[in-house]
């Protein structure tokens, strides 16, 4: 069984986000970038399925600038077998990413596309669902547990009000939630080994996909700041203040 | 221009979120239809009574009730021809299906809309709410998810829309429903509550989480929330998580107990009207957004609060 894991290069989640003063976007110059945390979870899950013997090959794919190679190497160091970098300087919208991934699926024929439920930059939570629509595959989003039973994946999902378990026929798209697993740190020997694993680079144009932007960014602004209030020294003082504020 | 709003409900009650999505939809058009799918009969009447609704559409089947994405998106796509925009609540259910609908219609998705600037221009948060992006779409048909906390509800009564059942398209599903494990609670829902009491890693165990927070929540008629750390550690169910990747809440009063205030958590609660933080570390970042901070061990602070509330 083969798994395709799309991984996105994003601003590291510990980095403070700064909006550019000209309102054109978020300042990404000279800041630490990393693999989207949900995609690390997806890589980890794929590696665990391989360790169990369910999966035989893991291909990690990233669409973006040349520096995405670094996060593909991370995926390889965690246990992916091959990397595919589809290079572009264009910022792709989820629909365009899904169209490119559809073309990759046609070449690679994976049984499962295992991906993050959301990228922590765009926060769209969209690409997996779009890909499954384009492929006409079933989808199991927000997974907190994945079990493969023959030609079906049993997926427990984090939904409104609790959990839901679905059985999806393979091939399928599965998107990861936070509690699916805790991703491993790549060991030094594995990081060294990853440097020798195959990594193919292609141009976006090779895929002949309409990746034109549908959205134009009018502006990016900072949200209204909340200012710190006051410290109170007792429960009684707190309640008095809440009564004055009209919320009790 | 007409808008199709997808109702948020539990089979018996129309959720407040629906009324808020209608408000957002009104900024696009006066012609608003509401689709109630799943177990629709009781809820359809409530949707018909909501102010500003033109027509209520209902669709029932087992797959729709189980909220299977393939079935729900096929239904909505079958209705899309009659609308210029489709608006869903930005709940787990809405987020699961909206991008699937958008891709099927070959349009982009606009996620988590917090403001409608014009018929084609929307504001939505990115980077855990640390930036607000205004985007203009070139797509003729718009598919949006709407963040309910950003809009006031329309009146729940006063409307008298007609109710009409629509055909459920036949789809060969490659998904089977196995089971549900829903948290049942008498408390108000997290997304709709006026007061939310949330606990963090500091609580240390599921028993402690319950023993400390529930009496306070009961006293205040509050919903209970949690940080990711508390959910990951099993102190609280996943549905309680507030934050960038959990629920977004904006109650009148948010009380954070033993929560440090990571940006991912703040993303889910910083639009609350009044924020209270109880944390024994005076340097905890939560104090930077709290209106009222109590620097104290929760073990003494919460009982004192309960006592003071009488
Ligand atoms: C006009 C415009 C301006 C933009 N400006 C910026 C900007 O300044 N900075 C910036 O960082 N982004 C920018 N973007 C990109 C945008 O913020 C999102 O990254 C993009 O729309 C994808 O959405 P998402 O990452 O939120 O997708 P989601 O749907 O949240 O992602 C879900 C999953 O899809 C997969 N995935 C998504 N993208 C890729 C990819 N490229 N390669 C491999 N897998 C992927 C991953 O598995 C990920 O976990 C811009 C986009 C537009 C349309
Ligand atoms: C991709 C991603 C997504 C995430 N999404 C979310 C999300 O949606 N929601 C979310 O909440 N987090 C999210 N996180 C996690 C977030 O970064 C923090 O790790 C998390 O919010 C921390 O939870 P906490 O405040 O309970 O724990 P901690 O940060 O450990 O804070 C515990 C606090 O309790 C205080 N404390 C300890 N003992 C006591 C006591 N006896 N009395 C009073 N105070 C005490 C401490 O001083 C400390 O400030 C996400 C992280 C990532 C990487």
Give the residue among A224, A117, A169 at the shortest CA–CA distance from B115: A224
- Give the other-Cβ count within 10 Å of A188's Cβ: 9
A131 Rama class: left (phi>0) / alpha (psi -120 to 50) / beta: alpha
- Per-residue three-class SS string for A194-214: HCCCCEEEEEHHHHCCCCCCC
pLDDT in tens, chain A (248 residues): 999 999 999 999 999 999 999 999 999 999 999 999 999 999 999 999 999 999 999 999 999 999 999 999 999 999 999 999 999 999 999 999 999 999 999 999 999 999 999 999 988 999 999 999 999 999 999 999 999 999 999 999 999 989 999 999 999 999 999 999 999 999 999 999 999 999 999 999 999 999 999 999 999 999 998 888 999 999 999 999 999 999 98
User: Hey, which of A67, A122, A124 would you mutate to test ligand 1's pocket, going by the most ligand atoms within 8 Å of its Cβ?
Assistant: A122
Say yes or no for a CB contact (<8 Å) between B307 and A132. Answer: no
Cβ atoms of B159 and B53 within 8 Å: the answer is yes
Give the residue among A120, A102, A104, A99 at the shortest CA–CA distance from A214: A99
Per-residue tokens: A73 = 């190497």
Say yes or no for a CB contact (<8 Å) between B175 and A133. Answer: no
| CA distance, residue B195 to nearest chain A CA (Å) | 9
Per-residue tokens: B26 = 């009104």
**Ligand 1 touching residue A38 (CB < 6 A):** yes
Q: Which residue of B has its CA nearest to A159?
A: B92
A190 touches chain B (CB under 8 A): no
User: Is the pLDDT at B189 greater than 90, yes or no?
Assistant: no
Cβ atoms of A78 and A189 within 8 Å: the answer is no
Residue B98 to residue B95: CA distance in whole angstroms: 6
Please, what's the largest Cα pairwise distance for chain A?
68
Cβ atoms of B73 and B6 within 8 Å: the answer is no
Q: Which residue of B has its CA nearest to A162?
A: B182
Say yes or no for a CB contact (<8 Å) between A123 and B99. Answer: no
Q: What is the pLDDT of residue B191?
A: 85
A125 touches chain B (CB under 8 A): yes
pTM across the whole model: 0.91
- Say how many Å lie between the CA of residue B259 and the centre of ligand 2: 5
């Amino acid at each position: 069984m083969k798994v395709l894991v799309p991984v996105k290069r994003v601003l590291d989640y510990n980095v403070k986000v700064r909006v550019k003063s000209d309102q054109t976007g978020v300042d990404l110059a000279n800041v630490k970038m990393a693999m989207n945390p949900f995609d690390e979870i997806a890589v980890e899950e794929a590696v665990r399925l391989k360790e169990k013997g369910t999966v035989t090959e893991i291909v990690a794919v990233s669409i973006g600038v040349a520096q995405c190679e670094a996060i593909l190497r991370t995926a390889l160091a965690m246990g992916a077998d091959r990397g595919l970098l589809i290079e572009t300087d264009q910022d792709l919208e989820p629909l365009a990413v899904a169209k490119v991934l559809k073309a990759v699926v046609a070449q690679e024929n994976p049984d499962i596309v295992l991906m993050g439920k959301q990228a922590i930059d765009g926060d769209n939570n969209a690409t997996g669902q779009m890909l499954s629509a384009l492929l006409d595959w079933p989808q199991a989003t927000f997974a907190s547990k994945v079990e493969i039973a023959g030609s079906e994946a049993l997926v427990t999902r984090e939904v409104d009000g609790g959990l839901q378990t679905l059985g999806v026929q393979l091939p399928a798209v599965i998107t990861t939630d936070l509690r699916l697993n805790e991703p491993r740190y790549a060991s030094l020997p594995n990081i060294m080994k990853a440097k020798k694993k195959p990594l193919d680079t292609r141009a976006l144009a090779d895929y002949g996909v309409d990746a034109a932007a549908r959205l134009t960014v009018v502006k990016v602004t900072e949200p209204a700041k909340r200012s710190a209030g006051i410290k109170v020294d007792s429960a009684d003082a707190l309640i008095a203040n809440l009564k004055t504020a009209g919320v009790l | 221009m007409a808008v199709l709003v997808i109702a948020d409900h539990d089979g018996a009650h129309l959720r407040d979120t629906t009324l808020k999505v209608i408000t957002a939809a009104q900024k696009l058009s006066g012609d608003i239809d509401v689709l109630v799918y799943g177990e629709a009969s009781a809820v359809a009447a409530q949707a018909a009574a909501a102010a500003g609704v033109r027509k209520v559409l209902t669709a029932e089947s087992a797959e729709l009730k189980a909220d299977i994405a393939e079935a729900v998106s096929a239904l909505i796509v079958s209705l899309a021809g009659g609308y210029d925009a489709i608006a869903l609540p930005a709940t787990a259910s809405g987020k699961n299906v909206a991008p699937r609908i958008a891709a099927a219609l070959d349009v982009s998705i606009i996620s988590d809309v917090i403001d409608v600037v014009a018929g084609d221009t929307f504001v939505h948060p990115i980077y855990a709410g640390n930036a607000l992006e205004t985007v203009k779409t070139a797509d003729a048909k718009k598919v949006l998810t709407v963040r309910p906390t950003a809009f006031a509800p329309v009146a729940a009564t006063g409307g008298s829309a007609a109710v009409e059942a629509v055909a459920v398209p036949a789809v060969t599903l490659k998904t089977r429903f196995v089971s549900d494990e829903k948290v049942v609670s008498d408390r108000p829902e997290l997304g709709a509550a006026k007061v939310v009491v949330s606990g963090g890693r500091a609580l240390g165990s599921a028993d402690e989480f319950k023993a400390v927070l529930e009496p306070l929540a009961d006293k205040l008629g509050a919903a209970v929330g949690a940080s990711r750390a508390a959910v990951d550690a099993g102190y609280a169910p996943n549905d309680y998580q507030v934050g960038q990747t959990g629920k977004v809440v904006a109650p009148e009063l948010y009380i954070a107990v033993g929560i440090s205030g990571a940006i991912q958590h703040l993303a889910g609660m910083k639009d609350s009207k009044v924020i209270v933080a109880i944390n024994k570390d005076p340097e905890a970042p939560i104090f930077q957004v709290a209106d009222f901070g109590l620097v104290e061990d929760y073990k003494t602070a919460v009982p004192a609060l309960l006592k003071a509330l009488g």
